[in-house]
Chain A
Amino acid sequence: MIALKPDFCDITLPENYEYGMEDYSSAKAKWCSGCGGHTILNSVQKLCQEEQLAPEKTVFVSGIGCSSRFPHYMKTYGFHGLHGRAFPVACGVKFRRPDLNVFVITGDGDCCSIGAGHWVHAIRYNMKMVVLLFDNSIYGLTKKQTSPTSPLGTRSNTHPTGSVLPPISPVQATLGLPNVSFVAQTVDWKAAHLHATIRKAYEHPGLAFVRIVQRCPVWMRDDYEPTVKDPEAITLMHHENGIALDEKGMKKFRKVIEHDPSDIVKARENAELIKDSTPIGLFYQNHAASRYDQYGAHNLGISTEDRIDAINELMDRYVI
Chain B
Amino acid sequence: MANPTDSAVSSVKSDPKPKQVKEAIVEIVSDSGEGAQKCGQSLGAISAKMGNGVWTVEIIPAEIQPPARSKAGASGIRVRMGSGPITNMGDQANLVVALNEQVLYGRIDQKAFKPGTYLLIEKKWADNPSEDIRNDYRKSIRKFKQLGYLIHEIPMEEECLKIVNDARKGKNMWVLGLLCHIYDRDLEIASEQIRYVFRKKDQQVIQNNLDLLQAGYDWATRNLDIHYSIPPNPREGDHVVMNGNEALSLGVMAAGIEVCSMYPITPATSATHAMAETMESAGGIIHQAEDEIAAIGFAIGASYAGKTAVTITSGPGIALKTEFIGLAVMAEIPLVIVDVQRGGPSTGLPTKVEQGDLLSVLYGAAGDAPKIVIAPATIEECFHYVILARKLAESFRSPVFVLTDANLATGVQPFPRPVIKPDWFAPPLDQSPWKEGLKPYDWDHATGLSKRPIPGQKGGMYTLTGLAHDEDSHVAYDPAINQRAAESRSRKLAALLKTLKKPVVHGDEEGDLLLIGWGSTKGAIEEAVDRARDMGASISSLHLHFLSPLEPGIKEILKKFKKVKTVEINYSDTVGDPLITKENRRYAQLAWYLRAHTLVDIDCFSNVFGQPISPYRILKMLEEEFDMKFTEDI
A77–B463 CB distance below 8 A? yes
Is B293 touching A11 in the complex (CB atoms < 8 A)?
Answer: no
Give the Cβ gap from B287 to chain A, nearest Cβ, in Å.
Answer: 7
A180 → B minimal CB distance (Å): 16
Q: How far is the CA of A29 from the CA of B299 in the complex (A)?
A: 30
Asked if A3 is at the interface of the complex by the 8 Å CB criterion, the answer is: no
A233 to B396, CA, bound (A): 55
Is B278 in contact with A89, judged by CB distance below 8 angstroms?
Answer: no
The answer to whether A9 and B293 touch across the interface, beta carbons within 8 angstroms, is no
Closest Cβ–Cβ distance, residue A198 to chain B (whole Å): 20
B259-318 residues with Cβ-Cβ distance < 8 A to A are 259, 261, 275, 277-278, 280-285, 287, 289-291, 293-307, 309
Judge whether A9 and B436 touch: CB under 8 Å: yes
Q: Give the contacting residue for A95; candidates B285, B459, B475; CB below 8 A.
A: B285
A236 vs B489: C-alpha distance when bound (angstroms): 52
Q: Are B455 and A100 in contact (CB under 8 A)?
A: yes
Residues from chain B with Cβ under 8 Å of A59 in the complex: 305, 455
User: Which chain A residues (37-89) contact chain B, with CB distance < 8 Å?
Assistant: 54-57, 59-61, 71-72, 74-82, 85, 87-89
A77 and B461 contacting across the interface, CB-CB below 8 Å:
yes
Q: Chain A, 285-317, contact with B by CB distance < 8 Å: what is the 0/1 string?
A: 000000000011011001010111011111101
Nearest B residue to A314, CB-CB: B278
Residues of chain A lying within 8 A (CB to CB) of residue B327:
81-82
Identify which of residues 88-123 in chain A touch chain B, using a CB-to-CB cut-off of 8 Å: 88-97, 99-100, 117-118, 120-121
- Knowing A299-B281, A314-B277 touch, does A121 contact B290 (C-beta < 8 A)? yes
**Which of B241, B290, B291, B465 contacts A320, CB < 8 Å?**
B241
Per-residue CB proximity of B230-244 to A under 8 Å, as 1/0?
000000001111100
Q: Is the CB of B253 within 8 A of A311?
A: yes
Give the A interface residue count (CB, 8 A): 62
Interface presence of B503 (CB below 8 A): no
Q: How far is the CB of A61 from chain B (nearest CB, A)?
A: 7
Complex Cα distance, B289 from A117, in Å, reads 11
Q: How far is the CB of B478 from chain A (nearest CB, A)?
A: 16
B239–A307 contact, CB under 8 A? no
Which A residues are in CB contact (< 8 Å) with B196? 317
Q: How far is the CB of B43 from chain A (nearest CB, A)?
A: 13
Determine whether B433 belongs to the interface, using a CB cutoff of 8 Å to chain A: yes
At the interface, yes or no: A27 with Cβ under 8 Å from chain B?
A: yes
Whether the pair B461, A311 counts as a contact (CB closer than 8 A) is no
Q: Is the CB of A79 within 8 A of B301?
A: yes
What is the bound-complex CA distance between A43 and B174, given in angstroms? 73
The residue on B at minimum CB distance from A295 is: B285
Q: Beyond A118-B290, A304-B422, is A318–B298 a contact (Cβ under 8 Å)?
A: no
Tier of interface size on chain B: 35 or more
B149 within 8 A of A: no
State whether A318 and B294 are in contact (beta carbons under 8 Å apart), knowing that A93-B455, A95-B301, A302-B283 are contacts in the complex: no
Q: Tell me, yes or no, whether A319 is within 8 Å of chain B by CB.
A: yes
Give min CB distance, A3 to chain B, whole Å. Answer: 14
| CB atoms of B463 and A71 under 8 A apart | yes
User: Would you call A57 and B305 a contact (CB within 8 A)?
Assistant: no
Is B324 interfacial (CB 8 A cutoff)? Answer: yes
Q: How far is the CB of A92 from chain B (nearest CB, A)?
A: 2
Which residues of A are found within 8 Å of B433, using beta-carbon distances?
Answer: 11-12
Contact of A88 with B466 in the complex, beta carbons under 8 Å: no
- Contact at B304–A88, with CB atoms within 8 Å? no
Q: How far is the CA of A81 from the CA of B300 in the complex (A)?
A: 10
Interchain CB contact under 8 A, A312 and B420: yes
Kindly list chain A residues whose C-beta atoms are within 8 Å of the C-beta of B80.
none
A311 near B285 (CB under 8 angstroms)? no
Instruction: Specify which chain B residues have a CB less than 8 angstroms from the CB of A306 in the assembled complex.
Output: 281, 283
Name the CB-closest residue of A to B428. Answer: A304
Q: Are A11 and B309 in contact (CB under 8 A)?
A: no
Of A54, A88, A312, the contact of B294 (CB 8 Å cutoff): A88
Contact of A318 among B241, B300, B309 (CB under 8 A): B241
Q: Is B434 among interface residues, defined by CB-CB distance under 8 A?
A: yes
Does B345 sit within 8 A of A, measured CB to CB? no
A170 CB to nearest B CB, Å: 18
Q: Are B301 and A88 in contact (CB under 8 A)?
A: yes
Confirm or deny: B250 has a beta carbon within 8 angstroms of a beta carbon on chain A: yes
Specify which chain B residues have a CB less than 8 angstroms from the CB of A121 in the assembled complex: 289-290, 294
What's the nearest-Cβ distance from chain B to residue A5, in Å? 12
Closest to B48 in A: A320
In the bound complex, CA of A80 to CA of B462 (Å): 10
CA–CA, A11 to B474, complex, Å? 21
B294 to chain A: which residues have CB within 8 Å?
A: 85, 87-88, 117-118, 121
Residues of B contacting A60 in the complex (Cβ-Cβ under 8 angstroms): 463
A118–B293 Cα gap in the complex (Å)? 9
| Contact A97/B467 with A296-B285, A304-B422, A314-B250 known, Cβ cut-off 8 Å | no
Complex CA–CA separation, A81 to B304 (angstroms): 11
B299: A residues at CB distance < 8 A: 92
Q: List 17 A-B contacts (CB under 8 A).
A: A77-B453, A77-B463, A81-B300, A88-B294, A88-B301, A92-B302, A95-B287, A97-B455, A100-B305, A121-B290, A295-B285, A296-B287, A308-B422, A310-B282, A313-B278, A318-B242, A319-B240
Instruction: A80-B463, A95-B298 are known; give 18 further A-B pairs, CB within 8 A.
Output: A55-B461, A75-B461, A80-B465, A81-B327, A82-B324, A93-B304, A94-B305, A118-B293, A296-B285, A302-B283, A306-B281, A307-B256, A310-B278, A313-B278, A314-B253, A314-B277, A314-B282, A320-B239
Binding site for A on B (CB under 8 A): 45, 48-49, 196, 238-242, 246, 250, 253-254, 256, 258-259, 261, 275, 277-278, 280-285, 287, 289-291, 293-307, 309, 323-324, 327, 414, 417-418, 420, 422, 425, 433-434, 436-437, 453, 455-467, 474-475
Interface residues of A (CB under 8 A from B): 8-13, 27, 54-57, 59-61, 71-72, 74-82, 85, 87-97, 99-100, 117-118, 120-121, 295-296, 298-299, 302, 304, 306-308, 310-315, 317-320
